[in-house]
Structures are given as structure tokens and as C-alpha cells.
Chains A and B, each alone.
Chain A
Amino acid sequence: MDTCIEKIRTICADLLAKGEVQKVIGFAEGSIPMASRPIAVTAKADVEKLVFNSFCGLNLANYVADGLPKEGKIAVLAKGCDSRNLVTHMVENQVSRDQLYIIGIPCTGMVDKRKIAALFEDDITDFSEAGDTLTIVSPQKKETVSKKEMLRHNCRMCTHRNPVVFDVMAAEPVEEQTLDQPFADVDRIAAMDPDERWAHFQELTKNCIRCYACRNACPLCYCPTCFVDESAPQWVGKGQDKTDINTFHFLRAFHCAGRCTDCGACVEACPMGINVRDFTRKLNKDALELFGWEAGMDMEKRPPLDVYSPDDPDDFIK
């Protein structure tokens, strides 16, 4: 991938020097292999800290709503999925278009760190990439793999790699992929009988520690008080009762229904690597099939669960 980091740094240095934006939200190098760290750069000299590589898997739209100055703009780096979340933020009145300077980055996907770590029996000490080739080193061995083989699942299923809204693009657009079976994973679960499906979800969340990293990494979860934190009335228990764990995950997925861009930040953030997308993907599929809807593609339209249209497929409302 053209990590286009030089172009990104030039754009940012320019924006900051001219005072066009007060800060740039991007990624910085992490302190351990395969890590990156969201960062806010305010001084032109600090743009050297910005990086962009194949493990910038978090969604920077998550940092936008809280980081707005009273006046003026902020710049934010946005991959395809991030840009769609910015659209959703704008449609939902969390930020207005004129508060943002969006640096669009066409993205060929982020790698699955756990899949890479599983190639080794010991800890990885170094990681480098050149185009599609990833070179990973540990005390025991060195591996060279193709990035395509190591992509995160949501990146393999991605049909919006190019940003849908931007003020400037940091690189040439990349080719969008077409998928034969965009929801094979959802179909597999849907084909299970209820008992199997229940068991699948119990197994999925067996190691959940209610850290809420998934919720907090998600740009959609910006409620001042999340439903799990309400006390009057208390909707969800705070303990490790399976019912409460299930309630959190299922209900959060429903709150994201029709809004989720499958950016994968939730799975990336989870310290247990739980594929919580099993909860949200079904709803993404439903939004597409029932409402012809994909989140964050249209600045003029509100998500389907927000609006009523006389063409809604369901009859009961008539």
C-alpha cells in the first residue's frame, strides 16, 4: 500500500502553519510491534510523528466529537470506513461539515494482528511492510507473508475503501472490490438452528470482561450516558451474569443498527479479540436488504431506523 505518509505530513504541516486547523487527529507510531496510537498534533514540527501503515485499525472519527474547539476547524485522517462514520456524525448533528478538514486516505486494509501473532510461538519483536509484503521477526524466526492473506475480516469484506467525503486525498483512489458473498459469515450463523445459534453467541462472549473497549472505540457510541450505565432505572446489571453480558452486546448492536460501517475498531480494541461483529453484521445485512441502506454514504439522509417512509416494506405500520 502506498502509505502516503509523506503526503499526509506535508498536508498537515501546511494546514497547521497556515492556521487553517487547530489540530490534526491521526496516528503515531506505537511503542510495541504492530501498534499504532491515535494522536492530536497541534504544532507543525510534530507532524513528523504522524504515521500511516497497516495497523492503523482504529476509527479516528471516534475522537472528533469530543475534540471540537469552540471556533475553527480540526483536521482528521479518514480511511473509507472512518469517512463514512464522519458522515454519520454530521447527519446525527455531532459535528458540522465546516468544523472538519478531512484528509482522505484510500485504504487497502488493515492486518489482523492476532492472525499474525499466531504464526509465532514467541513474541514478535519487529514488523515492517513494503507494498503487499509483510516481514515479521521474532527471536525464533522471520516470516514473510502477503498482506492480502493477513487482512482483517472486515477489510476483506470492504467495498468502500475510498473515502466518501474529503477535503483532500492523500493518494490516488484504489480499486473497489466486488464480493460474491458479502455476508457469508452472517448466513452461516443464520443457518444454525436456535439452540446452535444461542450456543454460538454464548461461546463468543465467554471471555468478555465488560471492559467496554468495543463500545468506547466505536464512533457511534457517543451517548452521554450509555444504557448500561443508567441507574434509574437500571436496565442492565453490572456483573458477569451471562444475561447481562448478552444484553450489553445484543442491545449495543441494535443501537448501531443501520449506522455501523463495519470499521472493525470494536474487534481491534477488544483485549480478548472477541469478534463482536457477529452481533452487528446481521443488522448491517438487514439494513441493506430491508432498506437498501448502507451507513454513511449520504449526507442528506438519516439512517433508516430514524425515519419513516411510505415505501417501508413492512405492512403493519399501514
Chain B
Amino acid sequence: MNFITIDKKDWAGGIDKSRKTFQVFGPVQDENGCQIKPLAPDLYPLMDAGVTTVMSPKSVLFPQTEKMLTATLDASHEDHHVMKPVEKADTPRAVLGIRPYDARAIQLVKLNFDNPDYQDPYWCGACAATTFVGLGVNRPGPCDFSTSTGCGPFSEEGLDVLLADLDDRYLAKILTQKGETWAAACGFDTKADAAESQALFDILKKEAEKNITASVDTDRLSEKSLLDLHEAPFWEDVAFSCINCGTCTYVCPTCWCFDIQDETKHKTATRFRNWDTCMSPLFTHHASGHNPRESKVQRVRQRFMHKLKYFVDKYDQGIMCVGCGRCVASCPVNIDIREVCKTMNNYEKE
């Protein structure tokens, strides 16, 4: 494993160098909070792991609105009404300052978009073109429960580079070939001693994990009966305050559900996809009017059952949650997934 020291004085210059080959994304503070944005030439990422972004970086691979296919409706064209894929540039991109839990989330989402039966070319193309440069979280916030979900503040899963913030410099652990390419494009080449660096990472990881105050138990979820959990009496209470907006699903890095819509403008038809939310009454609404999840309780239950049970049973990769705490922080009515997980994990049918 290669380790590189990056003097913070050289950071901005390195990013600028990399802009020749990479489209750069990173956290930027604005009036509405910290957002992941494409970084214009004079913009640099906020490298403060203590500030959680409102939205996750999933939008870099999976934009909220994404064109998929187009067709011309002009009958004079030979190919009229034949839908063709929209050409995607898939230029290399680098997401800087990503939290380790967000990198794990991308690996979980990959199970959906890249599987033996079907591969989603838009998501997969974007993923292959993206280099993830993570920043270890030295001071996890009160909503961070990532150590309970199979990752943690210094987890390496899904990252190409992991940076440790050492006040005046970053210590970079290069994890993959993509990471090497990125570091080279920035001109970051000051090698650091491997053994010493790894030891430092181990210390920082331990310290950071000690600072995690929030946790959830998930150990008994897989042994519970799916139907028993589904029929459990606590869902009415859990669901009461929910207003069925899409906040939790949109801020969540592991939520991937989408809607497909067609729009026509003049003689061009476009098929695109938008993020969608299982919280919406329309999500499962049949054209006949029948709706399997007509009531709010059914929809709230679906969200937690999917994240904490269906996914567990289907993929055997733990829960469909990386403990980022965004839904907890953003939910307008303070529905807390940690509390629901505890209730489910402890549930015994009477």
C-alpha cells in the first residue's frame, strides 16, 4: 500500500492540476447547508469531516433527474419513434472529501445496479468513471452510528484514497489503481513511510471510533420472522408523525428507488428517470386505482422493513443503512431509524 503526504498548502494547487483530467465534486457550504456540488474552477471542497452534508454523494453516480433515452417523433426522419440511449460522456470524475460511510453505501447500491441479471449502464458507467477520495472522520457527530452498520469513520470499503486530516497536512492512503491515477494527476507524490503511516491510521481510527456515541443493535434482525415483524403492533406508533415526504429517502445514500417518466417537447420525446420515494402514496398506485400500500402505516413500515429486514435477508450484507444519520437529522418529524431498528431487533411476538 502506498502512503502519500499532502501539505495543505499544496492541496488547492493539486486539485487545480487534476481538473485537466477530472471533473471535481466535493462538499460546499451554502445557505441551505453543506451540499455536494460539481466544483467550478475557483471552488474547492470543504474538507471538514465534522460537517455532514445534507445530501449524500449518490447524486454523482445517480443524478436526481437523468435522461436515459430519446426519440424523434418527426415522421420525416428514418428513425422516428425509435428510442435510443442518450450518449453519456462519462468523463472521469473525482469526489473529494467523501465520508467513508458514503463509500460503503455506494457498494451497497451497486448490488442493485450491477448484478448478474442486469446492469444499469448509466449508473455503472458513472461508477467506473468516478474516483472516490475519502476523508476520515476524526470527530463523528452525534447522529453518526456507522460502526454499527459494518463500516465506521475510517472504513476503507469503496474508497480509492483515504485521507487523514493531520492539521497542517493530509496523510493519504492510496487504496486502488484509480487512487494512484488521481494522486498522479494532482501531482501529489511525497511518499510517506508505509509502516509509520499505517500505524498512524490505526491510532486515528481507534480514536474516531471511540468518539462514536450512537449505536444500534442489528444482530437479531436476520433471525426474526419476516411476517412476524411485518404484522407487529408497533408500526402504528412509529408511523404516526410521518408526513410521507421524501426527505429520508432522498438524503439517504443507500436509497435507490426511481421513477421513469416520458416527456415530449415539440417533436422530441425523452425518457428520463427521477428519484422516487416509497413514502409517496403514488409509489405503488395501480392504474386501476388499487393501491397495495394505501395507508401511511403501510408505507412507513415498508421503508424500515426494506432497510432492516428485506435487504438483510436478500443480500446477507447487513442492513441497508450505513449509519450516516442524515435521515435522523433531516426528518421533519424526528422519526429515528435507530429507535425503529432497536424496536425491530428486540421484537418478540407475544
Contact = CB atoms under 8 A, between A and B. Distances in A.
B250 to A, nearest CB: 5
Contact of B245 (A63, A125, A213, A238): A213
Contacts of B245: 211-213, 215-217, 269
Contact of A238 (B261, B329, B334): B261
A156 interface: no
Interface in A212-263: 212-213, 215-217, 229, 237-241
B247 A213 contact: yes
A98 B132 CA distance: 60
B246 A58 contact: no
B142 A32 contact: yes
A38 B263 CA distance: 39
B142 A269 contact: no
Interface residues of B, number: 44
A237 B277 CA distance: 16
A62 interface: yes
B330 interface: yes
Contacts of B35: 207
Q: Which 4 A-B pairs have the closest CB atoms?
A: A269-B332, A213-B245, A239-B65, A272-B32
A58 B333 contact: yes
A63 B241 CA distance: 8
A40 interface: yes
A271 B261 contact: no
A31 interface: yes
B32 A31 contact: no
Contacts of A237: 261, 263
Contacts of B240: 38-40, 63
A210 B274 CA distance: 10
A126 to B, nearest CB: 10
B335 A32 contact: no
At the interface, is chain A mostly helix, strand, loop or mixed?
loop
Contacts of A239: 64-65, 261, 263, 272, 274
B164 to A, nearest CB: 19
Contacts of A270: 332
B332 A207 contact: no
A210 B50 contact: no
Interface of A: 30-33, 35-40, 58, 62-63, 66, 121-123, 125, 139, 207, 209-213, 215-217, 229, 237-241, 268-274
Contacts of A38: 240-241, 333
B244 interface: yes
Nearest to B31: A273
Given A123-B141, A268-B332, A272-B32, A211 B241 contact: no
B224 interface: no
Contact of A274 (B32, B250, B263): B32
Given A217-B332, A273-B32, A211 B250 contact: yes
5 contacts: A32-B142, A32-B143, A32-B334, A213-B245, A271-B330
Contacts of A217: 243, 245, 332
Nearest to B332: A269
B282 interface: yes
B259 A271 contact: no
A209 B64 contact: yes
Contacts of A125: 142
Given A30-B334, A211-B245, A241 B65 contact: yes
B43 interface: no
Contact of B246 (A33, A207, A210, A273): A210
Contacts of A35: 334
Contacts of B269: none
A37 B141 CA distance: 21
Given A58-B332, A62-B243, A274-B32, A122 B250 contact: no
B55 interface: yes
B336 interface: yes
B311 to A, nearest CB: 22
B126 interface: no
Contacts of A58: 332-333
Contacts of A271: 54, 247, 250-251, 330, 332
A127 to B, nearest CB: 12
Given A40-B240, A273-B32, A240 B274 contact: yes
B204 to A, nearest CB: 17
B316 interface: no
B19 interface: no
A217 B333 CA distance: 9
A225 to B, nearest CB: 9
Contact of B30 (A32, A207, A215): A207
Interface centre among A36, A210, A213, A241 (most CB of B within 10 A): A213
B246 A209 contact: yes
B307 interface: no
A237 B264 CA distance: 11
Contacts of A268: 332
Interface in B264-305: 272, 274-275, 277, 280-282, 296
Interface in B85-126: none
Contacts of B330: 271
Contacts of B244: 216
B274 A238 contact: yes
B336 A31 contact: yes
Given A32-B328, A216-B245, A238 B143 contact: no
A19 to B, nearest CB: 20
A266 to B, nearest CB: 10
Contacts of B139: 122, 139
Nearest to A240: B65
